[in-house]
């Protein structure tokens, strides 16, 4: 009689290509990237970093209501996006705007969404950072945790049935793996052999709950194996490791019709959101160490500089240009009028049902009675 141990004798291996100083680890096996792709990845990481800084400041100034940063997780965003094709469908959580950025979503489109103006594709009905784009096959962000994971499996199964040369990709945090949706999705994907890539950003924290209070397993990768899903653990701050792992995962998912789970080990350097103060539950020096010693942007910059593909002059020009573009986008987004009141009730039913007509009527009557209690920039 032998019981399986509750913990393995060996921890799952973590795949790395670059060391903390941006140098190739000897005998590393990775997918080669061209100078053009490497520079584009780095430029997108800097853009994402700058986007976070400026929009976070805008929220603190009261110009937008809410924001979530990706500080410390830029490599996962950009490198994974670069390894996919534009035919693949993305089901994000809320910390993956870099994927949308890589696919061509403009800085103006980001600003329009965060300010909820008339040009926002969601018509102001979503919180800031809840992006979505049909054009870029990027499903609209939902605040509810992990609901997108089974959706991705269903989409992947559909792609398989239609014999498409594409896969579905879904992102989530370590906290998402504590939801039932994660477990149902992995089992569903394994049984149906759906071409889906699960990318878990294991950043150590589910808001204020550390991974040590979430699970006792050896991270996330072993859970995939338990469900019959091929899995890998990757250094989430290593651009080349993420790019190579996602590139290989996509090839297996599409060609072999199988799900793949990628556990990207990283750290959430920023607060959970602008509604959070993470110094209340974790040491400030721990945050600073990850910001300075394990920053994925600095690490990748060292590698492209060592190849002669980047310089201090290019760095200065890029950061100045992106900052100016973002400030202009924000100024323009602020001036665009808000969506009209009627948009609160449209796009669900073809013909508005009586109860919604009644609600719209009551809302308009209330606004007319108490005009000072409602925003003056929302057209009636």
Active site annotation includes 57: yes
Q: What is the CA radius of gyration of the chain?
A: 22
CA distance to 65, 108, 190, 367, per residue, from 328 (Å): 19, 9, 47, 33
Active site annotation includes 217: no
The CA distance from 232 to 150, in Å, is: 20
> Which residue is catalytic, options 11, 13, 57, 158?
57
Active site annotation includes 65: no
- Judging by beta carbons within 10 Å of its beta carbon (0-12, 13-18, 19+), is residue 153 exposed, middle or buried? buried
Rounded to 5°, the CA angle 191-192-198 comes to: 85
Structure tokens at 143: 């605040």
The pairing of beta strand 209-210 with beta strand 205-206: antiparallel
Active site annotation includes 143: yes
Q: Please check whether residue 47 is in contact with residue 177, taking contact to mean a CB–CB distance below 8 angstroms.
A: no
- Judging by beta carbons within 10 Å of its beta carbon (0-12, 13-18, 19+), is residue 341 exposed, middle or buried? middle
The DSSP output letter for 376 is T
Structure tokens at 145: 């945790």
> Which residue is catalytic, options 143, 275, 311, 320?
143
| Residues carrying an active site annotation | 57, 143, 272-273
């Amino acid at each position: 009689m032998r019981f399986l141990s509750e913990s393995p004798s060996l921890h799952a291996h973590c795949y790395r290509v670059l060391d903390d100083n941006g140098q190739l680890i000897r005998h590393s096996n990775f997918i080669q990237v061209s100078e053009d792709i490497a520079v584009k990845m780095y430029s997108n990481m800097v853009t994402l970093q700058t986007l976070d800084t400026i929009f976070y400041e805008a929220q603190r100034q009261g110009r937008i209501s809410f924001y979530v940063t990706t500080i410390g997780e830029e490599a996962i965003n950009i490198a994974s996006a670069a390894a996919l094709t534009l035919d693949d469908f993305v089901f994000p959580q809320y910390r993956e705007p870099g994927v949308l950025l890589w696919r061509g979503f403009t800085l103006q489109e980001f600003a329009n969404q965060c300010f909820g103006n008339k040009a926002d594709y969601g018509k102001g009905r979503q919180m800031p950072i809840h992006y979505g784009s049909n054009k870029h096959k990027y499903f609209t962000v939902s605040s509810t945790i992990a609901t997108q994971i089974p959706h991705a499996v269903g989409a992947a199964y559909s792609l398989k049935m239609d014999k498409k040369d594409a896969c579905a990709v879904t992102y989530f945090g370590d906290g998402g793996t504590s939801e039932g949706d994660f477990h149902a999705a992995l089992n569903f994907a394994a049984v149906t052999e759906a071409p889906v890539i699960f990318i878990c950003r294991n950043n150590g924290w589910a808001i204020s709950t550390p991974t040590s209070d979430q699970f006792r397993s050896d991270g996330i990768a072993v859970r995939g194996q338990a469900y019959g899903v091929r899995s890998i653990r990757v250094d989430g701050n290593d651009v080349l490791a993420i790019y190579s792992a996602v590139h290989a995962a996509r090839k297996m998912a599409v060609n072999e019709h199988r799900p793949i789970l990628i556990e990207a080990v990283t750290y959430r350097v920023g607060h959970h959101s602008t509604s959070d103060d993470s110094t209340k539950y974790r040491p400030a020096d721990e945050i600073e160490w990850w910001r300075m010693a394990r920053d994925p942007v600095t690490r990748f910059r060292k590698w492209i500089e060592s190849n002669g593909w980047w310089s201090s002059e290019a760095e200065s020009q890029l950061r100045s240009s992106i900052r100016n573009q973002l400030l202009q986008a924000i100024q323009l987004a602020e001036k665009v009028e808000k969506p009209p009141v009627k948009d609160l009730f449209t796009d669900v039913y073809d013909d508005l049902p009586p109860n919604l007509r009644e609600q719209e009527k009551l809302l308009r009557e209330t606004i007319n009675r108490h005009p000072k209690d409602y925003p003056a920039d929302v057209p009636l």
